[in-house]
Amino acid sequence: MSFASLKVGLSVDIQRTDGRVHSAVISGANEAAQSVTVEWFEKGETKGKEIEVDQIFALNPELVAPPPPVRASKKTGRGDVDLARTEENKPIKAPRHEPSK
């Protein structure tokens, strides 16, 4: 999970103490406490609360950064062979030296 995705001004879904889920805007972020402060407008008043980032990510899964790709390898008798190679990083084969005649 990436704390960097939680920017001030971002609209997120939150869950209220009574269980209701609605949108709110991040008004502050505290990386040390792993929490954000959110605000919303209700019945003519601006309301707010502090929420742990785990709850924000649970209600807003689109904010969770995808995990890095897994690099598979295949065991061979000559060591590991990287199965995620691309054309740019394929090994260069050394030319064969034939014995002189």
For residue 23, the Cα-to-chain-centroid distance in whole angstroms is: 21
User: Averaged over 19-48, what is the pLDDT?
Assistant: 94
70-79 tens-digit pLDDT: 765 555 555 5
CB 40 within 8 A of CB 46: yes
| pLDDT above 70 for 11 | yes
48-93 tens-digit pLDDT: 999 999 999 999 998 887 766 776 555 555 555 555 555 555 555 6
* CATH label of the domain that carries residue 54: 2.30.30.140
> pTM for this structure?
0.62
Q: Is 59 among the domain residues?
A: yes
- Domain of residue 49: give its range: 3-63
Domain count, the chain: 1
The residue among 25, 50, 51, 20 whose CA lies nearest residue 40 is: 25
Q: Is residue 14 classed exposed, middle or buried when 0-12, 13-18 and 19+ CB atoms within 10 A define those classes?
A: buried
The residue among 26, 23, 31 whose CA lies nearest residue 3 is: 31
What pLDDT was estimated at residue 51? 95
